[in-house]
Amino acid sequence: MLELKNIKKIYHSGENVVALKDMSVKFGNKGFVSILGPSGCGKTTLLNVIGGLDAYDSGDLIIKGKSTKSFRNSDWDAYRNNFIGFVFQNYNLISHQTILQNVEVALTLSGISKAERKKRATQALIDVGLKDHMNKKPTQLSGGQMQRVAIARALVNDPEVILADEPTGALDSHTSVQIMDILKEISKRKLIIMVTHNADLAQEYSSRIIKMLDGDIEVDTHLEESDGNLQDSKFTKFKKTSMSIFNAIGLSFSNLMTKKWRTILTSIAGSIGIIGIALVLAISNGSKILINGKVSDMLSDSPIHISKVVNNSGGFVENTNPQYPDNSNIIVNDPTNRKTPSSHQNIITKEYMDYINKMKVELKDSILSISDSRNLNMNLLAKRGSKIVDIQGVYSHEMPSKKEDFEKQYELVGSTSRMPVEKNEIVIIVDSQNQVSKYWMDSWNLKEDDVKNAESLVGKTLAKLVDNDNYFVKEGNIFRPINSEASKIYDDTNKSLELKVVGVVRPSKESGDNGKVPSAGIGYTSKLEEHIVNKSLNSQIVAAQKNSDFNVTTGQKFSDEAEKKSMISALGGNDIPEELTIVPSNVEGSKQIKEYLDKYNEGKSDKDKIIYEDYSKSIISALEMAVNMASVVLIALAAISLIVSSIMIAILTYVSVLERTKEIGILRSIGARKKDVSRLFNAENIIIGFIAGTLGVGLTYLISIAVNEIVHSQIKQVDTIAVLAPIHALFLVGLSIVITLIAGFIPAKMSARKKPVDALRTE
């Protein structure tokens, strides 16, 4: 059945040791062969070579007439699993498994169903007299009992050869005899090759004794009749072994369960990195929710601007010229002409103004104020002392016409102030500190004495307003302000409108804080504006300006159509404003106004759309960008902790591999493939990765609760800042598994690569 032909085995550690020199021997298909010989003569080596645990250097091992020269790893694995059963001196049981499981493992590798496995393993244990110990761990058994487990394991796959290396070496003589009896019984059906030091036992039990010396046979009591049939049954291919991933997970799970604390600590190590990333994700997610909810609410009653130019997303128009250009071209920066590829030009039409006027009625309660800006140029003359002066470049703002709106936005300064009502009534706007600027004083040609207090200003005529036709005189193509007749016009109440100061006002506390209303200049009524536009629409200068492509007050050519339009507007030649600012009265109002404005654009071509600048939207997108950027940085930091914890896992896996080398050897000796071994460790790492991931995610949820509690106690408006999204939680568990797998991959590979003999030899 087995034949060794000139087998040579040399060990190359340090100096070369010839363990087997040119050994040839034949074995039959049953019988009890004892191998005797002094220590170091090569007995174990012989068994390992026969059992396929170690490779021979030259010669040939012939199994049922089949040469093993061309055997590949998988053939050897299958050979060990199907054909050979091992019994070792030190039992080699897997300590974290019950004895039943220990016996079952061999069957697991040959892919036998669970029920069948259990039945056969139980029977094998009954056969060796261990019926009552099935569920004990090896450490709970005596030496003789453990050796019987080993024998049961060797027999359970019904191999043809049992190889026993000093099976009684660690047993007392009484127990030794019991083991020998069992082996003797088996040798009636199978071939047993046993190495022993006990010559008496060998003499008593064996059918054949081979004495070895220095790697070769010294004496062989070969007796044909006791050796069974040398004539062989034919060689049949071995069934290939394989451990399913489920069995691998089961085996790993039972291993992890016996080392609960190690497993928990490893998982905690692994979860640290996951917690880091999970917290960053939770906080960035939470802040986005916060920004889109609370912050957006807080910002959303800010003014809605309809400017001449906006960018398409409704935000500010940014300068898109490249920074530090590499050419020498000089660029003229004209803020009134901010056109970028992504910008949109709002052209407010009569139709749109009608739509806005309808809104004033429909959404009365949502609107705090609507102010239009048309850069209206006021022709002003003032009397300072005895001189008539021309007032240029003043700030002016339309005041709310409803009392309640006015009072919401402004408060009166001084006892004599009141809000302007009539077209000839104006107010002077100071800031919250009652200040006016030096520039303002200069533009109005006022001295400090003129503005001592509010009371002294109220009742004064600050200037007189003159119509275009009375103000401008045509000289050739150019219109110039009248100078010579200025005092005549000033005194003629038909030609000029007296502008009387009726009050000094400043922004109210509520609106002043967020800059919703201007805090400088003069305030006039909408009646004044109507008056100016009415008088100007048909004025000569407007008509002339409409027909010229140059500025009729300076003679300068316009650079584009927009500039000309602005000029016409400034001269009061346009009853439609260029820009609008709508101040909502509250958050809800802001929403309604925006909805109303959005509705206008439905079905309009892009060109005709009116897009408002939504400050809250651009602030929110800026905030979101900041959060995203912070998250990237934080995730980079968390990734470092992930790497550190991966290294920890790699080290722990490596230690676990070292610890389990023996188990690897045992598994290999009963036919496990390299693949099965790495699968075993991968399964273990998957389990650890899963535990670490769930632990990390679970702890993050707990930490989030604490973080939210603390933040809420500090900032009342913020309920939650850390919210881990379920999708992120799932992703992180997956990530944890992948990372643990990767970290353990190399140790797992290393352990799988170990030669079975080397693995077995480690203690």
Residues that bind ligand ADP (CB under 6 A): 11, 13, 17, 19, 37, 39-45
Which lies closer to Mg ion via its Cβ, residue 44 or residue 525?
44
Question: Shortest approach of Mg ion to residue 661 CB, angstroms?
Answer: 19
C-alpha 282/C-alpha 264 separation (Å) is 24
CA-based torsion, 131, 133, 138, 141: positive or negative: negative
**In the beta sheet, which residues pair with residue 60?**
5
One-letter-per-residue 3-state SS of 596-620: HHHHHHCCCCHHHCCCCEEHHHHHH
The residue to which tokens 């533009």 are assigned: 443
Which lies closer to ligand ADP via its Cβ, residue 215 or residue 671?
215
Question: Shortest approach of Mg ion to residue 165 CB, angstroms?
Answer: 6
Which partner in Mg ion, ligand ADP, none is near 85 (CB below 5 to 8 A by kind)? none
Site string for Mg ion, 303-332 (x = CB under 5 A): ------------------------------
Which partner in ligand ADP, Mg ion, none is near 45 (CB below 5 to 8 A by kind)? ligand ADP
One-letter-per-residue 3-state SS of 392-433: CCCCEEECCCCHHHHHHHEEEECCCCCCCCCCCEEEEECCCC
Does residue 168 belong to the site contacting Mg ion (CB under 5 A)?
no
Distance, C-alpha 276 to centroid of its chain: 11
Question: Shortest approach of Mg ion to residue 757 CB, angstroms?
Answer: 11
Question: Shortest approach of Mg ion to residue 9 CB, angstroms?
Answer: 13
Which partner in ligand ADP, Mg ion, none is near 13 (CB below 5 to 8 A by kind)? ligand ADP
**CB nearest Mg ion: which residue?**
44
Contact in structure between 47 and 193 (CB atoms under 8 Å): yes
Which partner in Mg ion, ligand ADP, none is near 651 (CB below 5 to 8 A by kind)? none
Which lies closer to Mg ion via its Cβ, residue 27 or residue 88?
88
Question: Shortest approach of ligand ADP to residue 42 CB, angstroms?
Answer: 4
Angle between the N-to-C axes of helices 260-290 and 245-258, in degrees from 0 to 180, rounded to the nearest 10 = 100
Which lies closer to ligand ADP via its Cβ, residue 37 or residue 693?
37
Does residue 44 belong to the site contacting Mg ion (CB under 5 A)?
yes
Does residue 525 belong to the site contacting Mg ion (CB under 5 A)?
no
C-alpha 722/C-alpha 631 separation (Å) is 13
Helices marked H in 660-673 = 661-669
DSSP letter for 349, please: -
Q: Which residues, 443 to 472, sit near Mg ion by CB under 5 A?
A: none
Does residue 48 belong to the site contacting Mg ion (CB under 5 A)?
no
CA distances from 528 to 397, 598, 669 (A): 11, 31, 105
Which partner in ligand ADP, Mg ion, none is near 235 (CB below 5 to 8 A by kind)? none
CA-based torsion, 533, 539, 542, 546: positive or negative: positive
Binding-site size, Mg ion (CB under 5 A): 1
Which lies closer to ligand ADP via its Cβ, residue 13 or residue 329?
13
- Binding segment toward Mg ion, per CB under 5 A, in 43-51, 224-232, 623-631, 720-728: 43-51
Question: Shortest approach of ligand ADP to residue 165 CB, angstroms?
Answer: 7
The residue to which tokens 């602005």 are assigned: 566
Which lies closer to ligand ADP via its Cβ, residue 41 or residue 752?
41
Which lies closer to Mg ion via its Cβ, residue 44 or residue 207?
44
Question: Shortest approach of ligand ADP to residue 748 CB, angstroms?
Answer: 24
Which lies closer to ligand ADP via its Cβ, residue 118 or residue 211?
211
Among 691, 633, 668, 688, smallest CA distance to 752 is for 668
Residue 529 exposed, middle or buried by CB count within 10 Å (0-12, 13-18, 19+): buried
C-alpha 150/C-alpha 144 separation (Å) is 10
Which lies closer to ligand ADP via its Cβ, residue 17 or residue 478?
17
Residue 354 exposed, middle or buried by CB count within 10 Å (0-12, 13-18, 19+): exposed
Does residue 682 belong to the site contacting Mg ion (CB under 5 A)?
no
Residues of this chain that bind Mg ion (CB under 5 A): 44
